């Protein structure tokens, strides 16, 4: 008989387990397919993303990935690594600093900078980088359950 994991087995970090200074990373090489599929899913067909002839005449001198595609990798870190499954993403401030192109490997990182125990909130510095260059910078706020919440 196949084992169905319990809620506790799937859950990421609980608030009590998180400390300022903890960090997590996720890296992905952005592909042509990622850009096309993101365009289709979101409906964002801005020609700077999907039309090389148009994009060639922009300041980028070619097609670039959607900024939100890059930023979505931050969500991956939060939802799968730290705090992980069960956290609720409340807000995200973002600054897009440089373009990402097909073939670039983006490393999304979060660093826990503040804990708000009375509300079980976590504040984290978020970055996405290609090599040494930060392409997206920001701050995220998450709600994380406690072990006490699981007993209710």
pLDDT in tens, 36-78: 999 999 999 999 999 999 999 999 999 999 999 999 999 999 9
Domain that residue 133 falls in: 13-151
2 falls within a domain:
no
Residue 87 burial (C-beta neighbours within 10 Å; 0-12, 13-18, 19+): buried
90 falls within a domain:
yes
Q: For 51-95, what is the HEC assignment?
A: CHHHHHCCCCCCCCCCHHHHHHHHHHHHHHCCCCCCCEEEEEEEE
CATH number at residue 82: 3.10.129.10
Name the token pair of 82.
């730290």
**What integer pLDDT is reported at residue 8 of this predicted model?**
66
Could you tell me if 99 and 26 are in contact, meaning their C-beta atoms sit under 8 angstroms apart? Answer: no
Name the token pair of 44.
């964002």
**What integer pLDDT is reported at residue 115 of this predicted model?**
97
Q: What is the largest CA-CA distance in the chain?
A: 60
6 falls within a domain:
no
Number of domains forming the structure of the chain? 1
Taking the complete model, does pTM exceed 0.95, yes or no?
no
3 falls within a domain:
no
**What integer pLDDT is reported at residue 7 of this predicted model?**
62
Residue ranges of the chain with per-residue pLDDT less than 50: none
Cα–Cα nearest to 122, from 142, 145, 146, 137: 142
**What integer pLDDT is reported at residue 139 of this predicted model?**
98
């Amino acid at each position: 008989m196949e084992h169905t994991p319990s809620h506790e087995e799937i859950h990421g970090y609980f608030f009590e387990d998180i400390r300022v200074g903890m960090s997590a990373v996720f890296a992905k090489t952005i592909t042509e397919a990622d850009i096309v599929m993101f365009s289709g899913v979101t409906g964002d067909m801005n020609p700077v993303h999907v039309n090389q002839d148009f994009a060639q005449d922009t300041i980028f001198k070619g097609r670039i990935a959607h900024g939100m595609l890059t930023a979505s990798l931050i969500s991956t870190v939060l939802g799968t690594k730290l705090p992980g499954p069960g956290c609720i993403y409340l807000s995200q401030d973002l600054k897009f600093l440089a373009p990402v192109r097909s073939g670039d490997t983006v490393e999304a990182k979060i660093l826990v900078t503040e804990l708000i125990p009375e509300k079980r909130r976590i504040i984290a510095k978020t970055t996405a980088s290609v090599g040494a260059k930060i392409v997206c910078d920001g701050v995220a706020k998450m709600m994380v359950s406690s072990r006490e919440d699981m007993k209710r």
